[in-house]
Each structure stands twice: as structure tokens, then as C-alpha cells.
Structure 1
Amino acid sequence: MNAVAAMRLPEHVDLSGFITLLQRLKVPHRVAEEAGEQVLWVPGEQLAEQVRELYGRYPQGDAEVLLEPSQASKNSAQGFVQQLKNSPLTAIMLALTFVVFAVTGTGENYTTVRWFSFVDFRIQDGHIYLAYLNETLASSQWWRLLTPMLIHFGWLHLAMNSLWYWELGRRIEARQGAMMLLGLSLLFSLTANFAQYLNAGPSLFGGLSGVLYGLLGHCWIFQRLAPTPAYRLPPGVLVMMLAWLLICMTGIFELLQFGAIANAAHVGGLLAGCLTGLLGGALARRRHS
């Protein structure tokens, strides 16, 4: 596989934090200086697109901003195994995602990807032919309404979504219980998938992103109405996620041919999460009163 220049940045830009993040995620890469620029090389265009997306979210390599310092220290002391025991539903959901990632060949085996896509499809002569939703549901393939959240296209896509689900999922599971997290995850997946289908028609999409925006919206509005330490997110996280959503909606990444982004799924998940946060927060506030 040929090396691809994922990014070209001026020499004065400090890439040390982002390089550390790439190393932690085990992303193959190298950095070279060429004509007064830093060039980040990775193997393959797909990985290059994911690296650019990761840099857009964490230019300083700040993946740990999802945890407050006190909570990070506490979790570190507990140990990873104890964290799994404390958040079994979050762990099970991620484990299922990892299994599907392996079964689908990191999202590149379309023969198995079609088992989990929102609508069925076939590939013929190098072209993809997608069915309409009514055709798919007429075949009683109801699982497709939810399973796109389990599909991930590449390691970085999986890693970023897993990090977010691990942090947000644990918060909700600790505050409102495992069954609430399961119900919210399924609801946000359903909402995000329908939103994307209604916006773009039959298309191939996947990932936990729509669910993650739902969890984010839930924690955000719930915290506003019924403050709780579990849902107190650092302000930078919320601003960064909303800013990223708006940037993606401009279509700049499609214009630059970095790949399509399921913006409607993100918006649908976020709106659903804000609604559940409004309902849950109002009920919690009323009980407290």
C-alpha cells in the first residue's frame, strides 16, 4: 500500500501531542520535513481521511479531555478491570462493536457489511446497488433499523467512537442504570439511522457517532435541569463537539474529497438526546423538589 500525505502543516505547529495520540492508537505513520512543512504520512487514503478527522477533533492529542482530572485519577486507581465491572453494559456494547468490526473485516468486507447495513445492497461490476427501506422491511429484516451503529470503517473510526462511548456510556450507566443506557443507545441509533435515510435516501453509512451525539445531548440537557457530578462535562468537550458538527455540516470535507459524513445522523441523534435529557432532567428535578 502506498504512503499518502495525510496532512501538511507549517514547521512551527507543534505536533508532539497529536503524534503521541497516534502512537497510543497504534496508527502507523511517519513525519517528514519537506520544503518548510511538516508532512504526516500514513499507509492508504482511507487511513489518511481518518487521521485528518482525528486531528480536527484532537489537534493537541487531548483525547483525555473527556475526563475531569479528579475522575481520571480515580479511574486510574480503580484499574481497568474494575471499571469494566462497574460498567458492564458499556463494556458489552463496545465488545459487540469490536466483534462486528472483526466480522466485517474492518469495514472493508462488503459481503458481511451488508448483514448490518440499514438497507440491503448488492455489488455488481464494481457498482453498489442499494435497496429501499420498504423492500428491506418487507423481508422482515428489522434488525437493520439498529445495526448500522455497529459498523465502523477503519481503525480510527472505531477508536474515536469507542473512546466517546466508553466515557459517556459509563456516566449514564452510573447515574441512571444499565437498562437506561441500553434504551437510550437503541433509541438514538434508531433516530439517527432514520434521519440519515430520510435525508440522503438509500446509502451505506455506519458508526456510533449518531448514538454518541445523542448521549452527549442527554447529559448536556439533563445536567442543566438537574445538576449531577456524573454528567458534568468539561465545557471544552461540548463546544468542541458542537463546533465539529457545524463544520461537518458545511460540506467542507466532501468538497475536499475527504469522504462523506452522516451529518443527518449526528443531528438526529443530538436532537433525540436533548429531548430525553429534557424529560429525564425534568423528572429528576421534580423528584428532588
Structure 2
Amino acid sequence: MSAVAVLRLPLAADLSGFVALLRRLQVPHRVIEEGGEQVLWVAGEELAEQVRELYARYPDGDAAGEVAEPVAPEREGVLLQLRRSPLTGAVLLLTFIVFAVTAAGENFAAIRWLSFVDFRIDGEHLYLTYLEATLASGQWWRLLTPMLIHFGWLHLAMNSLWYWELGRRIEFRQGAIGLLGLTLLFALASNFAQYWWAGPSLFGGLSGVLYGLLGHCWIYQRLAPNPVYRLPPGVLVMMLAWLAICMTGVFELLQFGAIANAAHLGGLLTGCLTGLLGGMLARRSA
């Protein structure tokens, strides 16, 4: 969804009161100087119309009455969404490239360079090194790259869909740099949590990052309600229920493969912490 210029006013016009009102309402916006004017931008025409109406009523930000909260912009075509969420699209593109290079998780020669710790295969046996030895050789990228590895189409599809859904929300609300920082932080936290819990092992996927994004939106929204982080009903319950079911070990018993439960939990807890900090800062600045 492309950005829309809501207002174009002379530089002498005082927008501080109205901008403060938008902040209180948690409306994502930007004010820039352009062509000798100050221009107020928001994402999407629907949100722009609501902001124009709001300015017509409260140009000085003095909303003495009850003000309805503008809603998040409606979804549009995929190409327009990619233009509005370039970082989300870039992470997914990189994930798809790695998926192709690793042959859907079957090319262990390629996976070896992206796994959390180095390993070698001797016959039917997998021998993994410890993290200390891996980092001693200067391979620091391994702390993050497991998030790009996916084992099979279903694994990729589920994680990609959820990153697309949650990543766009955070990029819209906190910008591309904010989403990048949170993605890397959650990848680091979830990878370390899995290694701490299970020791040297082969794991990968965006799911630890996804639970971090989920926890971030959840707690942030509780402290500083805003339309962007308002998740569809049942999503949070479903994701937490899935986490609880996975932690029972039922899928391992049914021989569906091992699940990196510690990575999921580590990502979720870290996301709740960033959501707490971000929500508190948003409330303080409102």
C-alpha cells in the first residue's frame, strides 16, 4: 500500500498539536519538509481520509470530545503491499533463495554453512561441533543464519505466511529498521535458547522469530492499543496452543520429526520483553 499525502501546509503552520493527537491515537504517520511545505503522510487512502476528517475537526489537536481511533489500512494487492513492506519481502526472498540452494533441506553440504554449529557427515552419522569451536574459527554469521533454513515445503509455507502477516504489521508501525532489528534479535535469542536446551543439534526455520514477533505485537498492543497490532481473533490462542502441544513431545512420539520447542519459547519470551519495552515507551510518549 503506497503512502498518501494527507496535508500540505506552509512551514509557518503549527502542526505540533495535531501530530501529538495522532501519536495519542497510535496513528502511524510522517511529517517531512518538501518543496517549501510541510507534508503529512500516512499509509493508504482509507486512513488518509480519516486523518483529513480528524484535522478538519481538531486542527490544533484539541480533541476535547471522544475521538474514534482510525483503523488500520485495508489490504490491497500483493505488489502494493510489497512496496509498503520492502524489508518483509526481502527477508522472505532471502529465505526462498536459501530454500532453493539447500534443495528444500536436503543439501547438507549447503546447510553446513548456515547451521548454528558446524558438522560433518560420515556415512549415516552426523557429527556436530560445539559452538565455542565454531565461533573460534570466526563463523559468527551462524548465530543468525539458521532462521533461513527450512526442511520441506510445508515448513517453508507455514513460516513464510506468518512472517508475511506479522512482519508487515511491525514494518508499518515501527519501520523497516525496527523490523530488521527485532528479526535479528529474535533469531539470536531463539537460536541460543535451542542450543542451550538441546546442545549441538541441527535445527532451522523462522518459527522462533515468528513467536518473537507474535509476543511483541501481543504485549505492545496490550499496553499501547493500536489498530496495526490488533491481531485477528483466535490467532494468539491458536499459536500458544500449538506451542503447548509441540512441547508435549507428541510429534516426536509419532515420528513426525523433532521440533525446536526451546527456540519457539525463547523467541516468544524475548518478543514479550520487547513488546513490554516498546509499549511502555509508546504510552509515555502519547
Same fold (TM over 0.5): yes
Larger Rg: 2
Deviations 1:166-197 (A, max 9, x none): 00000000001000000000000000000000
In structure 1, what is the equivalent of residue 130 of structure 2?
A: 132
Take 2:253 and 2:273, find their aligned partners in 1: how far apart are those partners? Answer: 32
Q: Distance in 2 between matches of 1:125 and 1:98?
A: 29
**2:146 pairs with 141, 148, 158, which one?**
148
Give the TM-score normalised by the residue count of structure 1.
Answer: 0.73
Q: Give the Cα–Cα distance (whole angstroms) in 2 for the partners of residues 144 and 94 of structure 1.
A: 18
Alpha-carbon distance in 2 for matches of 1:285, 1:71: 19
Separation of aligned partners in 1, 2:102 and 2:250: 29
Partner of 2:161: 163
Higher relative helix content: 1
Partner of 2:105: 107
Where in structure 1 do 4 or more consecutive aligned residues deviate above 6 Å? Answer: none
Per the normalisation by structure 2, the TM-score is 0.74
Question: Which of 216, 219, 222 is residue 220 of structure 2 equivalent to?
Answer: 222
1:118 maps to what in 2?
A: 116
Tell me if structure 1 keeps the 8 A contact 2:194–2:263: yes
1:233 corresponds in structure 2 to: 231
Partner of 1:64: none
1:74-112 Cα deviation digits (max 9, x unpaired): 32xx31111100000000000000010011011100000
- Tell me if the contact between 2:98 and 2:148 (Cα under 8 Å) persists in the aligned partners: yes
In structure 1, the residue matched to 2:44 is none
Query: Partner residue of 1:264?
Result: 262
Aligned residues: 216
CA positional deviation for 1:258: 1.3
Corresponding letter in the other structure for 1:139? S
Q: Write out per-residue CA displacement over residues 120-173 of structure 1, whole angstroms, 9 at most, x where no aligned residue.
A: 000011110000000000000000000000000011100000000000000000
Aligned to 2:259, the other structure's residue is in SS state coil
Output the CA distance in 1 between the equivalents of 2:272 and 2:146: 22
Matches for 1:1-289 after TM superposition, within 5 Å: 74-75=74-75, 78-288=76-286
Extract unaligned runs of 5+ from structure 2: 1-70
Distance 1:86 1:95 in 2: 15
Mapped to 1, the partners of 2:130 and 2:211 lie a distance apart of 26
* Structure 1 gap ranges (5+): 1-69
Distance 1:235 1:187 in 2: 27
**Cα distance in structure 1, aligned partners of 2:153 and 2:201:** 21
Tell me the secondary structure at the aligned position of residue 187 of structure 1. Answer: helix
Q: Give the fraction of aligned pairs with identical amino acids, expressed as a percent.
A: 77
Report SS of the residue matched to 2:234: helix
Corresponding residue for residue 13 of structure 1: none
8 Å contact 2:219–2:276 — kept in the other structure? yes
Report the aligned-residue RMSD.
1.1
User: Could you tell me which amino acid in structure 2 is paired with residue 135 of structure 1?
Assistant: A
Tell me the amino acid that sits aligned with residue 122 of structure 2: Q
Structure 1 residue 235: Cα displacement: 2.8
Report deviation, 1:71: 7.0
